Amino acid sequence: MTELMMLTSVLDRAVVADESIPCRKDPELWFAESPADVEDAKQLCRECPVREQCLAGAMDRAEPWGVWGGELFVSGVIVARKRPRGRPRKNEIAA
């Protein structure tokens, strides 16, 4: 719930209509466990009018996790992709 409160505080300062801010519709998506859902959230962020402010605020706060400003934070660091749960394969599967 704390993550949602921080997201709300960033967005409350935004001077735009709620319908133009994608995370207002489904805030849980920005803290999803599924890599596909995380990619969906990142895609929705790309056209958000407060994307830059959201990302700057997340970096200032060193957000522990979630999608902020179109970037995925894990342990306070921006990472490119969310890895699925479980152990990685020992060998690559031949195509």
38 is in an annotated binding site: no
Among 25, 10, 16, 4, CA closest to 69: 10
23 is in an annotated binding site: yes
45 is in an annotated binding site: yes
29 is in an annotated binding site: no
- Beginning with the edge strand found earlier in the chain, give each strand of the sheet holding 65-68 in spatial order: 65-68, 71-74, 77-79
Q: Positive or negative, the Cα torsion across 64, 79, 54, 47?
A: negative
Binding residues for [4Fe-4S] cluster: 23, 45, 48, 54
Binding residues: 23, 45, 48, 54
